[in-house]
């Protein structure tokens, strides 16, 4: 039985946030990000010490929509570095930032 399925037909998609610290804070995101995850991630980013570099590692992020792309663009504007972006996410974030 595959743990990614329940009832034989619905796939469970989750976002996992892992916090790593070694001179900078890295939040490694994995899974599918949805609008409701933005609030949680914003709280984590706000709780970080001022002046400490913060990165979002998107290497294992499997899906993001317009709300999440807007959020990532805002993060970059605030100095949060996005790393390991899928090419479509990087392009989409860049377009969002150019619109402003």
C-alpha distance from residue 6 to each of 11, 13, 16, 61 (Å): 7, 11, 19, 22
Structural domains counted in the chain:
1
60 has pLDDT over 50:
yes
CB 75 within 8 A of CB 95: no
78 has pLDDT over 80:
yes
CATH number of the domain within which 83 lies: 3.30.750.24
Residue 30 resides in a domain: yes
Name the nearest CA neighbour of 56 among 33, 87, 25, 10.
25
CB 3 within 8 A of CB 26: no
Q: So what's the pLDDT on residue 14?
A: 63
Q: So what's the pLDDT on residue 1?
A: 34
Residue 21 resides in a domain: yes
pLDDT in tens, 1-58: 333 433 444 544 567 877 777 778 899 998 888 888 899 899 989 988 777 889 999 9
Residue 1 resides in a domain: no
Residues spanned by the domain of 35: 7-99
Residue 2 resides in a domain: no
Name the nearest CA neighbour of 53 among 25, 85, 22.
25
């Amino acid at each position: 039985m595959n743990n990614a399925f329940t009832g034989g037909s619905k796939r469970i998609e989750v976002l996992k946030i892992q916090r790593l610290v070694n001179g900078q804070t890295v939040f490694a995101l994995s899974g599918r990000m949805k609008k409701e995850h933005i609030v949680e991630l914003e709280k984590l980013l706000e709780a970080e010490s001022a002046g400490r570099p913060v990165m979002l590692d998107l290497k294992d992020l499997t899906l993001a929509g317009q709300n999440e792309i807007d959020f990532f663009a805002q993060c970059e504007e605030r100095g949060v570095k996005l790393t390991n972006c899928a090419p479509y996410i990087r392009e989409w974030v860049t377009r969002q930032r150019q619109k402003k």
